[in-house]
Amino acid sequence: MLLDDASGRIVYEENVIGAQEAARWHERLLDSPIWRQQRRMMYERELDVPRLTSHFSAADPGLPWPLDVALERVRALTGERFNSIGLNLYRNEHDSVAMHNDRLGDLQEGHPIALISLGATRRMHIRNKKHAAARRLDLDLAPGSLLLMSLDTQLHYDHGIPKQAHPVGPRISLAFRTRKPE
C-alpha cells in the first residue's frame, strides 16, 4: 500500500503474474500486429505519441491470448469487472508517457485503474498536483506487477513514465479500466 487517504488509494504489488508467464505474455504481445502509432496535436503541430498503443474492449469475443487470460486474472485479483483494456508499448529508453491524469470524464466513478507491467522495468513518477515536491512517489514497475489506482487519485495526482538516459529493452503495460457506457 503506497497511499490510502482522502486523496485516494494506490496499491503496488509485485509478482502477481509469475516471471515465466509474464515473459511469455510480453513476448507474444510484442510480436503481435496490434500496435498503432497515434498522433497528437502539440504546440500547433502534429507529433507522434512517444510510444505505441493498442486498445480492446473486454467484451471483444476475439480477445487474443494473453489478453483474455490477463483480464480474468486481473478480475480475480481486484474483484473489479473492467470493460476496457488499453495497451502501451515503450520500445526503448526514448519512449515515455508525459505526466497526466487519466481522463475522469470517460471513466465510471468508484472503479480503480489497474496496470499490469510486462518486459523491462521502467520508473513511474506519481506527483501530487498541488504539492508535487512533498508528495511524490518514484516507482519501479517490475514485470508481473500490479499497480492499482483508485479513481479519486486521478483528481489529486499526475503520473507518467519519463524517458531515461540508460538503454532499456521494451516494456508493455496493460491498463484495465471501467469506462462509462457510450
Ligand X SMILES: O=C(O)CCC(=O)C(=O)O
For ligand X, the binding residues (CB under 6 A) are 86, 88, 97, 102, 115, 124, 141, 159, 161, 173, 175
| CA-based radius of gyration for the chain | 16
Nearer to Fe ion, 24 or 128 (CB): 128
Binding map of Fe ion across residues 59-88, x = CB under 5 A, - = no contact: ------------------------------
User: Nearest residue by C-beta to Fe ion?
Assistant: 102
Cβ atoms within 10 Å of 22's Cβ, excluding its own = 23
Nearest residue to 145 via CA among 15, 37, 51: 15
Please choose which of ligand X, Fe ion, none residue 114 contacts, taking the beta carbon within 5 to 8 angstroms, the exact cut-off set by kind: none
Cβ 113 to ligand X shortest distance, Å: 8
User: 33 CB contacts (<8 Å, ≥6 apart)?
Assistant: none
Q: Which stretch binds Fe ion (CB under 5 A): 30-38, 53-61, 70-78, 102-110?
A: 102-110
Burial letters 120-131, b for 16+ CB under 10 A, else e:
bebebbbbbeee
154 binds, among ligand X, Fe ion, none (CB under 5 to 8 A by kind): none
Strand-strand pairing, 136-141 and 122-128: antiparallel
Q: Which is nearer to ligand X, 3 or 141 (CB)?
A: 141
Give me the torsion for CA of 133, 156, 102, 67, rounded to 10°: 90
Determine the Cα–Cα distance for residues 30 and 24; give it in Å rounded to an integer.
10
Cβ-based nearer residue to ligand X, 61 or 154: 154
Verify binding: residue 102, Fe ion, rule CB under 5 A.
Answer: yes
Of Fe ion, ligand X, none, which one sits near residue 161, judging by CB under 5 to 8 A according to partner kind? ligand X
